Amino acid sequence: MANRTIVASAPHVHGPLSTTKLMGDVIIALLPALAVSVYVYGWGVLAVTAVSIGCCVLFEALIQKFLVRGKQTITNLSAVVTGLLLAMNMPANIPLWIVAVGALIAIGVAKMPFGGLGKNPFNPAIVARVFLLIAYPVQMTSFAMPSTEGFVDAYSGATPLAAAKAGLMNFAEIDALGMFAGNMAGSFGEIATLALLLGFAYLLVRRVITWHIPVSIFATVAVFAAVYGAFSLDTPHLVSNFALFHLLSGGVVLGAVFMATDYVTSPMTTKGMVIYGVGIGAITMIIRLWGAYPEGMSFAILIMNSVVPLINKYIKPRRFGAKK
Amino acid sequence: MKTFPIGGVHPSENKKWSKAKAIEPMELPDVVTIPLAQHIGAPATALVKKGDTVKVGDKIAEATGFMSANIHAPISGTVTAVDLQLNGQGLRQMMISIKREGDEWAEGIDLSTDLVKECNLPSAEIIARIKECGIVGMGGATFPTHVKLSIPEGKKAEILIINGVECEPYLTSDYRTMLERGEELLVGTSILMKAVSVEKAVIGVENNKPDAIKHLAELAKGYEGIEVKALKTMYPQGGEKQLIAAVTGREVPAPPALPIDVGAVVCNASTAVAVYEAVQKNKPLVQRVVTVTGKSIKDTKNLLTRFGTPVSALVEKCGGLPEGDNRVLNGGPMMGRPMSNLQSPVMKGCSGITVISGAEALRGEPSACIKCAKCIEACPMGLEPYLLAKQSKKKAWDAMEQNDIVSCIECGCCQFTCPANIALLDYVRLGKQTVMGIIRARNAKK
Amino acid sequence: MNTLIFTIVTLCAVGVVAALILYFVAQKFKVEEDPRIDDVEKMLPGANCGGCGFPGCRGLASALVEQEDISSLYCSVGGADCMKAVADYLGKAAPVKEPQVATVRCGGTCEKRPRTSTYAGTKSCAIASATYVGETNCAYGCLGYGDCVVACAFDAIHINPETGLAEVDAEKCTACGACVSACPKGIIELRKKWPKGRAIYVSCVSKDKGPATMKACKAGCIGCGKCSKVCEFGAITIENNVAFIDSTKCRLCRKCVAECPTGAIKMIGLAPLPPKEKPETKTETK
C-alpha cells in the first residue's frame, strides 16, 4: 500500500463551526453599537476601544507565552471580544491608563489564572469593570454628555439611572425614542439600544446564541419594574414608562445580549439559561431600586456567574423519551 | 413537515455524487470471505468445512440461538478455509473462504424478475422464512429481522415504519433501491405488515429525495394501509427512535425500552426488499446495493454486490483510491466504521464505501471547551456530551451512568458540531462501552 | 451608633443560630470510626493510587484495621517497611510480598514493526484499540498513546519517542498496577523485581500464529517453543502461540535468550552467555 489509510472513529466530517468564527460573529454584532457610540461621543471612543483590545490581546499573548507556556490562543479572538466588551463598558472620556489597568484585570486576574478561555468562572470584562468601578469610581462614573460635534470630555452628565436614583427623573417625560437611539449618558457601549438589538438579531440569525438569556432578562426587568411601579409610584399610570425606562437605561441591553450570554460563564441548558436570566434581571432591579449603586447589571451578572456551576449540575436537558 | 423533537444537525448531503447512478451489478469475485459475525448477536456456526462445494444460496452457517442469523453462500464453488481472517479493522475474525466456480444457484430459488404480489402465509410462516433466509437490518445496525418481528408476549405492534430516510450523507443505496425496486419494496412492506399484524405502515422519506417520495406515493396507491410520509431533512432522522418520533410523535423511553413499547416496528427500506425476495422468491440474503462514493472517487457507483467481495475490488471498479491519504469508511461519514484493511469483505450491513480524501481526512486540532452548549443543542437524545466526555476522561463511570450515557446512539452530532473540534464522541463512546460492560456484569451477578 | 450595634448584634445572632444548627446536624450524622484508621492512613504513602484494590489509602487503612488476617492486603508503594510498621502498630502479622516491577511486554519498535495506517483519532490507547487494530498490523502490541503514562501516579512510565513503546523506570515504579489495568492490550505485567534492574522476559504477547506475527513484526514471539525446551526450571510455557516466562520460577540463567530466533526474549542488566559450541543453532533460523 503506497498510500496509508487514515483511521479515526466516526464522525468523519466536521461542521462549519469554530471558536474563531463564533467570536468573530460576536465582534461583528457589536460593531453597529460601536459605530453609534463614535457618532454620539466622537473619536475618543475608538481610542478607548483600541487600547482595550490591544492590551487584552497583548496580555493574553504574554501570559500564554511566558507563564502558561502553551500554544498561543489569541487567534481564537476571545481576547478581542473581552477587550471590546470591556471598552464598551467604560465612559468615552476615561483616561486610557485606566483602560489598560482594566485589561490587565480582565485577562491577568479573571481569565488566565483559571486556565484561559473556557475555564474562567466569571466574565472577565465584567470583573474588570467592577474592579474599576470600585477602584476608580470618579473616573468610571464621569460620563461625557452625548455630543455630535466630536470628542467632548470637558463636562460630564449624570446617567438616566443616576438621575432616577437621585429622584430627579420625571417618568412622564422620558425620551424613550432618544434613549432607544442612543441619546443619553452612559458607558459608551450601552447607550445605543437599537444598534445593540440589531446585534442581537444578528447573533440569533447566525445561531451564535439562543434567545433564552436575553429575553428572560428583559422580561424579568420589565415585570419587576412594572410591579414595583404599580405599588410604589405616585403616578401609577406611568408604570409602562417606568418599565420602559428601566429596560432602556443603563447596561440592561448590552449586558443581557452580550455579557450575560458569554458562553463560558452562562448555563448550558435552555432551562438553566432561563433561571440564570431571571436571576440577573431580578438582582439588577433589586440593586437599582434598593441598592447603593444606580446600576446593578454588572453585579447581577457576576452573582449569577457564581451560580452557574450549580445550575449546570442540577438542571438537565429533557432527555429523549422522558416526559415532557 | 415533521421531524424528530430534539437536536439534530445538517451535514452537507453530498448525495449528488452518486444519486443519479442506477444500480449495476458488481462482477463476481473469484474468492470471497464470509464473516460468521455479520449481525448483532451471537456469531453464526459454520456448517461447511474445507473442501465442501456450495451453490449460491446454500446455507453455510446457522444462527447460534435466537439472537443470531443464518448465512448463505454468495457464490458457488469450493470452500477453501474456515479460519481466522482479517476484518476491515485489521482484527481477526472467523470467516468462511470460498473459491468461485461459475455461478450456480441452489434449487428452489426463484431467479425471475416477475413481481409476485400475492402472499397468504400466516405471520409465523413469514417470520420463519425471513429467519431462514438470514435477513438482518440493512441500514447498518444489522439487527436480525426475525427477532424484531417476533413481538414479545403482552405487547402489540400498532404501526410498521419503513425507514427510507437515509440521513447519512453521501449514501444513496436506499434511495436507488426505492426508485428502482419500489414495487418489491411495497410488497415487502405489506408482507412485513402481515408478519407483525398491523393495519398501517408508513414509509418515511426525507424531503431531499422528492422523486423517491413521489414514486413510492404513486405506487402505494395500489396497496392498502401504506402511506408515504415526507420528513423534514435532519440528521440523524434515520435513527430508529428519531424516525418513530418523527412519524408518530411518540418517544421511545430510555433503554431498556424498545420501539415495540410505543407500538412501533421499524425496518429499513432495503430490508423490506430483501424480505420480499426471501418470502416470495425464497431467495436468501446473499447480496446488497453498496454505494461507492466520495468527492475524489472518479466514477461513483451503486453496485449490487455479493457478500464477501473485497472492498478493494469495489473501489478499483470505481476508479481506485485517489493519491495521497484517504479515510475509507464502511458506511457514511457520520457513523461509518473506518477501515484499515481494504481486502476485507462487504457484509450485510455495508450500505456504502465512502472515501474521504485530502485535508478533510484529517481531524482539526482540538482546543479548549468554551461551554457553548452547541453539543447539547445538537444531541438528539437530550444528553450533555461535553459533560459525558469530561467524565469519561476522568473515568467517572458511575456519574456517566447517572447522566444517561446508555441512551447515546453514537450519531456523532456532538462532535460534528463542536466549534472547539473536541473529539467528544471518542470519549463518549469509550464511556458508553465501559458503562454497558459494568451494567452487564452487574446484571449477570444478580 | 445604633446602626453599628444593631449590625453587630444581628451578625452575632446569625452566627449563634448557624452554629447551633451545625452542632445538631453534626451530632445527628456522627459516624463512629476506629481512631486507629486515621493513624494507619498516616503511615501509608498517601498516593491514593488504587494499587491495593481500594479506591484510596483510607480504604486500605480501614481494611487493615478491621480484618483479623491482613495477609491478603498489601501496599506495594510503601513496600515491606511500611507494611511492617503498620502490622506492628496493629499487632498483626505483617503481610509479605516479593517486590515487583511493571514490565512492558512489547518489542515492536517503529523499526521492527512497520506502520501500515495513520491513526488520526484521539491519542488514547483505549479509544484507538476500540476503533481498530492500530497503526501496525499487530493487534496485540503497544499502541504508544500513553494511557499507562496518564495512569501512573509516580512518573515511572514513559513513551520513548524513538521506539514508540512504553518504558518503565524501575527505580520509580512502585508496582501499584495502575498501568496494568490502564493498558487495553494487557501488555504490562507485574514481574518479580531482581536487584540492579535485572530481568529476562518475553517482550511479546501476540497470540497470532507464527507467520502472521512475523509478517506484522520482526521482534514478535512466534511460539516456536525453543526457549521452553532449554529452560531447566520449567519457567517457560507456550500458550496461544506465545511464550511466557514465569518470573517466580525464572532464575535468570539466560539460556533461553540465546535460543530465541526473533530476539523476542529480552534481557536487561545481564551479560549474554558466552557462545555455545554449536553456533549454527543461532544462524539457522531467521
3-class DSSP string for chain C: CHHHHHHHHHHHHHHHHHHHHHHHHHHHCCCCCCHHHHHHHHHCCCCCCCCCCCCCHHHHHHHHHHCCCCCCCCCCCCHHHHHHHHHHHHCCCCCCCCCEEEEECCCCCCCCCCECEEECCCCCHHHHHHHCCCCECCCCCCCCCCHHHHHCCCCCEEEECCCCEEEECCCCCCCCCHHHHHCCCCCEEEEECCHHHCEEEECCCCCCCHHHHHHHCCCCCCCCCHHHHHCCCCCEEEECCEEEECCCCCCCCCHHHHHCCCCCEEEECCCCCCCCCCCHHHHHCC
Quickly state the pLDDT bin for A152 (edges 50, 70, 90).
very low
| Helix A44-62 vs helix A19-41: crossing angle, to nearest 10 | 150
Average pLDDT over residues A249-274: 93
Amino acid letter, residue A147: S
Q: Pick from B26, B287, B240, B255: which is nearest to B139 by CA?
A: B240
* Cα gap B45→B427, rounded to integer Å: 34
Contact status of A313 with chain B (Cβ, < 8 Å): no
**Partner residue opposite C120 with nearest CB, options B363, B427, B433:** B363
| pLDDT score for A82 | 95
Average pLDDT over residues A136-146: 78
Contact status of C240 with chain B (Cβ, < 8 Å): no
Burial C115-135 (b: 16+ CB within 10 A, else e): ebbbbbbbebbbbbbbbbbbb
* Cα gap A164→A90, rounded to integer Å: 20
Contact B2, B165 (CB under 8 A): no
Q: Taking CA atoms, what residue in C is nearest to B361?
A: C120
| pLDDT score for A74 | 87
**Partner residue opposite C133 with nearest CB, options B325, B340, B363:** B340
Residues of C in contact with A7 (CB under 8 A): 117-121, 131-132
Contact B372, A263 (CB under 8 A): yes
CB within 8 Å: A268 and B371 = yes
Contact status of A14 with chain B (Cβ, < 8 Å): yes
**Partner residue opposite C120 with nearest CB, options B86, B91, B362:** B362
* Cα gap A316→B394, rounded to integer Å: 20
State yes or no: pLDDT of A150 exceeds 70.
Answer: no
* Cα gap C281→C258, rounded to integer Å: 9
| pLDDT score for C279 | 46
Residue B199 DSSP one-character state: S
Share of chain B above pLDDT 90, in %: 92
Residues of A in contact with B5 (CB under 8 A): 320
* Cα gap B353→B172, rounded to integer Å: 11
Residue B232 DSSP one-character state: -
| pLDDT score for B310 | 96
- Residue A123's CB is within 10 A of a number of other CB atoms, namely 29
Residue B358 DSSP one-character state: G
- Name the more confident of B369 and A73: B369
Average pLDDT over residues A247-273: 92
For β-strands C117-119 and B326-330, DSSP reports them as unpaired
Residue B2 DSSP one-character state: B
- Residues B374-421: tens digit of each pLDDT: 999 999 999 999 999 999 999 999 999 999 999 999 999 999 999 999
Domains along the sequence of chain C with CATH: 36-90 (1.10.15), 100-268 (3.30.70.20)
Cell representation of residue B368: 479548549
| pLDDT score for A157 | 58
Residues of B in contact with A317 (CB under 8 A): 6, 376, 379, 382-384
* Cα gap B348→B328, rounded to integer Å: 18
Amino acid letter, residue C142: C
Weakest-pLDDT range from A205-209, A257-261, B372-376, C50-54: C50-54
| pLDDT score for C171 | 87
- Residues B334-365: tens digit of each pLDDT: 999 999 999 999 999 999 999 999 888 889 89
Spans of chain C, pLDDT less than 70: 275-286
| pLDDT score for A3 | 63
Contact status of C121 with chain A (Cβ, < 8 Å): yes
Q: Taking CA atoms, what residue in C is nearest to A6?
A: C118
| pLDDT score for A1 | 45
- Residues B287-325: tens digit of each pLDDT: 999 999 999 999 999 999 999 999 999 999 999 999 888
Contact status of C131 with chain A (Cβ, < 8 Å): yes
Residues of C in contact with B86 (CB under 8 A): 133
Contact status of A10 with chain C (Cβ, < 8 Å): no
Contact C194, C247 (CB under 8 A): no
| pLDDT score for A172 | 67
Weakest-pLDDT range from A238-252, B2-16, C153-167, C217-231: A238-252
Question: Looking at the DSSP assignment, which residues form a beta bridge with residue A156?
Answer: A144
Residues in chain B: 446
Can you give the three-state secondary structure of B367-420, one letter per residue? CCCCCCCHHHHHCCCCCCHHHHHHHHHCCCHHHHHHCCHHHCCCCCHHHHHCCC
CB within 8 Å: C132 and A7 = yes
Contacts of C21 (CB under 8 A, 6+ apart): none
**Partner residue opposite A5 with nearest CB, options B12, B326, B370:** B326
Contact status of C215 with chain B (Cβ, < 8 Å): no
CB within 8 Å: C130 and B430 = yes
CA–CA min distance C131, chain A (Å): 6
CB interface of C with B, residues 124-153, below 8 Å: 124, 126-127, 130-134, 137, 139
| pLDDT score for C272 | 82
Share of chain B above pLDDT 70, in %: 100
Average pLDDT over residues A178-185: 72
Residue B76 DSSP one-character state: -
The number of C-beta contacts closer than 8 angstroms across A and B is 163
Contact B247, B155 (CB under 8 A): no
State yes or no: pLDDT of A174 exceeds 80.
Answer: no
CA–CA min distance A226, chain C (Å): 32
Residues of C in contact with B90 (CB under 8 A): 116-117, 132-134, 137, 139
Contact B205, B228 (CB under 8 A): yes
- Residue B78's CB is within 10 A of a number of other CB atoms, namely 15
CB within 8 Å: B356 and A12 = yes
Average pLDDT over residues B216-223: 94
**Partner residue opposite A8 with nearest CB, options B338, B380, B383:** B338
CB within 8 Å: C118 and A7 = yes
Cell representation of residue C56: 484510596
The Cβ-side half-sphere exposure at C175, using a 13 Å CA radius, reads 16
ipTM: 0.89
The number of C-beta contacts closer than 8 angstroms across B and C is 45
Share of chain A above pLDDT 70, in %: 90
Quickly state the pLDDT bin for A155 (edges 50, 70, 90).
very low
Q: How far apart are the first and last CA of chain C?
A: 98
- Residues B234-246: tens digit of each pLDDT: 999 999 999 999 9
Q: Taking CA atoms, what residue in C is nearest to B336?
A: C131
CB within 8 Å: B11 and A15 = yes
DSSP H or E run through B220: helix B210-220
Can you give the three-state secondary structure of chain A, one letter per residue? CCCCEEECCCCCCCCCCCHHHHHHHHHHHHHHHHHHHHHHHCCHHHHHHHHHHHHHHHHHHHHHHHHHCCCCCHHHCHHHHHHHHHHHCCCCCCCHHHHHHHHHHHHHHHHHHHCCCCCCCCCHHHHHHHHHHHHCHHHHHCEECCCCCCCCCCCEECCHHHHHHCCCCCHHHCCHHHHHHCCCCCCCCCCCHHHHHHHHHHHHHCCCCCCHHHHHHHHHHHHHHHHHHHHHCCCHHHHHHHHHHHHHCCCHHHHHHHHCCCCCCCCCCHHHHHHHHHHHHHHHHHHHHHCCCCCCHHHHHHHHHHHHHHHHHHCCCCCCCCCC
Average pLDDT over residues B178-205: 95
Integer-rounded Cα radius of gyration of chain B: 21
Average pLDDT over residues A186-205: 89
Contact B94, B30 (CB under 8 A): no
Residues in chain C: 286
* Cα gap B104→B175, rounded to integer Å: 30
Residue with cell 451453490: B55
Classify residue A82 as left (phi > 0), alpha (psi -120 to 50) or beta: alpha
- Please tell me which chains touch A, using 3 or more CB pairs under 8 Å as the contact test: B, C
- Residue B87's CB is within 10 A of a number of other CB atoms, namely 24
- Which of A57-71, B270-284, C19-33 is modeled with the greatest confidence? B270-284
Query: pTM for the complete prediction?
Result: 0.89
Quickly state the pLDDT bin for B24 (edges 50, 70, 90).
very high
Question: Looking at the DSSP assignment, which residues form a beta bridge with residue C192?
Answer: C100
Contact A112, A100 (CB under 8 A): no
| pLDDT score for A146 | 61
The dihedral through the CA atoms of C222, C227, C229, C235 has a sign that is: negative
Mean pLDDT rounded to a whole number for chain A: 87
| pLDDT score for A169 | 67
- Residue C21's CB is within 10 A of a number of other CB atoms, namely 10
Q: What share of chain B is helix, strand, coil (3-state, %, to 5)?
A: 30, 20, 50
CB within 8 Å: B429 and C130 = yes
Burial A25-46 (b: 16+ CB within 10 A, else e): bbbebbebbbebbbebbbebbb
Contacts of B127 (CB under 8 A, 6+ apart): B146, B149, B150, B195
The overall longest dimension of chain B from CA atoms, in Å, is 63
CA–CA min distance B335, chain A (Å): 5
CB within 8 Å: C127 and B92 = no
| pLDDT score for C12 | 95
